[in-house]
Amino acid sequence: MRSDSIKKGIARTPHRGLLMATGVSKKNMNAPFIGIASSFSDLVPGHIGMRDLERQIEKGIHSAGGQAFIFGVPAVCDGIAMGHCGMQYSLPSRDLIADCVETVAQAHQLDGLVLLSNCDKITPGMLIAALRIDIPTIIVTAGPMLDGECQGHHKLTMVTGSFEAVGKYRKGEISEEELLAMEEASCPSAGSCQGMYTANTLACLTEILGMSLPYCASSSAVSSQKRRIAFDSGMRIVNLVKDDIKPSMIITKESMRNMIVADLALGGSTNTFLHTLAIANAGGIDITLKDFDELSKNVHQIVKINPSSSLTMADFHYAGGIPAVLKSLASANLISDTKTVSGIPTLEIAKYAQIDTSIIPYYKDSKYTKAGLTILYGNLAKGGCVIKTSGVDPDCYEFTGNARTFDSEESAMEALENDTIKEGDVIVIRYEGPKGGPGMREMLAPTSLLVGKGLGKKCALITDGRFSGATRGICVGHVVPEAAEGGVIALIKDGDKIKIDINTQEITLLVSEEEIAKRKLTLKPFEIKCKSGYLAKYAKNVQDASHGAIVI
Q: Annotated catalytic sites, by residue?
A: 468
The span from the CA of 337 to the CA of 333, in Å, is: 10
In this structure, the strands spanning 137-141 and 33-38 are unpaired
Q: Give the C-alpha distances (Å, rounded to integers) separating 537 from 279, 485, 542.
A: 21, 17, 9
> Is the sign of the CA dihedral 548, 503, 264, 458 positive or negative?
positive
Q: Transcribe 247-268 into DSSP letters.
A: HHHHS-HHHHHHHHHHHHHHT-
Spell out the residues 6+ positions from residue 15 whose beta carbon is closer than 8 angstroms to its own.
6, 7
The SS3 assignment for 511 reads coil
Q: Transcribe 184-204 into DSSP letters.
A: HHS--SSSB-SSSSHHHHHHH
Count Cα atoms within 13 angstroms, Cβ side, for 380.
30
Q: Give the CA dihedral 248, 339, 545, 435, nearest 10 degrees.
A: -50
The span from the CA of 496 to the CA of 176, in Å, is: 38
> Is the sign of the CA dihedral 287, 212, 542, 434 positive or negative?
positive
The SS3 assignment for 43 reads coil
Spell out the residues 6+ positions from residue 354 whose beta carbon is closer than 8 angstroms to its own.
320, 323, 324
Closest CA to 391 of 364, 372, 413, 405: 372
**Per-residue burial over 465-481, b = 16 or more CB atoms within 10 Å of its CB, e = otherwise:** bbbbbbbbbbbbbbbbb
The span from the CA of 96 to the CA of 149, in Å, is: 36
The SS3 assignment for 49 reads coil
Cα separation of the two ends of the chain: 31
Sheet holding 33-38, edge to edge: 67-72, 33-38, 112-117, 137-141
The span from the CA of 203 to the CA of 215, in Å, is: 10
Spell out the residues 6+ positions from residue 309 whose beta carbon is closer than 8 angstroms to its own.
none
> Is the sign of the CA dihedral 81, 84, 86, 92 positive or negative?
positive
Spell out the residues 6+ positions from residue 423 whose beta carbon is closer than 8 angstroms to its own.
455, 458, 459
User: Would you say 529 and 492 are in contact if contact means Cβ atoms under 8 Å apart?
Assistant: no
The span from the CA of 545 to the CA of 37, in Å, is: 27
